[in-house]
Amino acid sequence: MVSKRTIVLGIESTAHTFGCGIVDDEGNILADVRSVYVPEKGGIHPREAAQHHSTHCSEVVKKALAEAHISIDKVSAIAIALGPGLGPCLRSGAVIARALAVHFSKPLLPVNHAVAHIEIGKMLTGAKDPLIVYVSGGNTIIAAFSGGRYRVFGETLDIALGNCLDVFARKLGLAPPYIIEGLHVVDKYAEKGEKIIDLPYVVKGEDLSYSGLLTAALRKAREPGVRIEDLCLSFRENAYNMLVEAAERALAHTKKKEVLLTGGVGASPILQGKLKLMAKEHQAKLYITPKKYMGDNGVMIAWTGVLLYKSGITVDVKESFIKQRWRLDEVDIPWIS
């Protein structure tokens, strides 16, 4: 008897990206299609992003199926990121996922977006039991698996690292675009920085606070004689070092031998370098999620869907509410023993 291959179609729509990924149970990526909402100015406007998702969802899903060379009846289940994220965006993705599940009689798999970032990182890098550093526009979390869940050891008490960098760049008129030649504009300007300007450095246990740093740096920018390059260097040093120190505290505490970096901000080579040095000091190995899958994508949702499906976790369409504030440590992880 030929065992049936599990194929999951995953939909991501928590923030600016509408993504559809198709993955099988061996971790083969059959399709990865994305459509990203880019604001003309400023940051993400949730309603406009949702509008973008609704406009592009059907073409993205169709394209993904074509890319995978399969018809939808070969798909075992539909995975959807129900949270955390921006309400209107989550809703637009949930609508299409529910419709696909109902119309084609497929089970619906409820995926937590943060769990998905971790699971795709583990699958692609081969990390087994890492300390997780998950940094993106909306999240700054230091976590590790213990007792059936990913436990949060440290996190930001206010704004996320990515958000802090982006707002700083935007208010100084350096962005958008936020990324130049593969570097964040703040990293780019910091290259020409020469001296360190004193800015708030706020680590509380393994938690962080970025709002004070942002406010102080923006105020500093208005002072005469302050070079923008020096300010970017100082800002970046504070922002990254705070994160690395919190991760180091968590590493010393948990004694893990692996560190996994995931989430969009993880693409920064400067941050990667710092984390690598830190991990080495503690005889731990740094695993970096491949750049392509650091940011939001449908593949990570599909892969986490595979894990849910194999553990027998599905959600009734009637119960498939979006959860804007669905915390990482609220999710049971039965696939790790």
Partner 1 sequence: MDKLDLEIKIEKLISKGAEANIYLGTFLGYKAVFKKRVPKPYREPEFDLNLRVRRTLNEAKMLYFARKGGIPVPTLFYFDTKETLIIMEFIEGKLLSHCIKEMTVNTLKELFYKAGEIMAKLHLNSIAHGDFTTSNIINTGKELVIIDFGLSKKTSEIEEQAIDMHLLLRSLESTHYDIVNYVKNSVVEGYEDIMGKGYAQKVYERMLEIRRRGRYVKERRKKG
- Residues in contact with partner 1 by the rule CB under 8 A: 83-84, 114, 138-139, 146-147, 149, 151-153, 155-160, 196, 198, 201, 203-205, 207, 237, 241, 244-245, 248-249, 251-253, 273-275, 277-278, 281-282, 324-330
3-state SS, one letter per residue, for 31-61: EEEEEECCCCCCCCCHHHHHHHHHHHHHHHH
Name the β-bridge partners of 108: 78, 315
Residue among 303 and 326 whose Cβ is closer to partner 1: 326
Residue among 80 and 152 whose Cβ is closer to partner 1: 152
**Smallest separation (angstroms) from partner 1 to the CB of 20:** 24
CB-hemisphere CA count at 13 Å for 46? 10
**Smallest separation (angstroms) from partner 1 to the CB of 260:** 17
Residue among 315 and 328 whose Cβ is closer to partner 1: 328
Residue among 24 and 248 whose Cβ is closer to partner 1: 248
**Smallest separation (angstroms) from partner 1 to the CB of 2:** 43
Residue among 51 and 272 whose Cβ is closer to partner 1: 272
Looking at the chain, list the stretches that DSSP marks H as alpha helix, in order from N- to C-terminal side: 46-68, 87-103, 113-125, 161-171, 185-190, 211-221, 228-254, 269-281, 298-310
**Smallest separation (angstroms) from partner 1 to the CB of 26:** 32
DSSP state of 313: -
- Rounded Cα gap, residues 263 and 139, in angstroms: 8
CB 166 within 8 A of CB 235: no
β-strand pairing of 7-12 with 17-24: antiparallel
**Smallest separation (angstroms) from partner 1 to the CB of 29:** 27
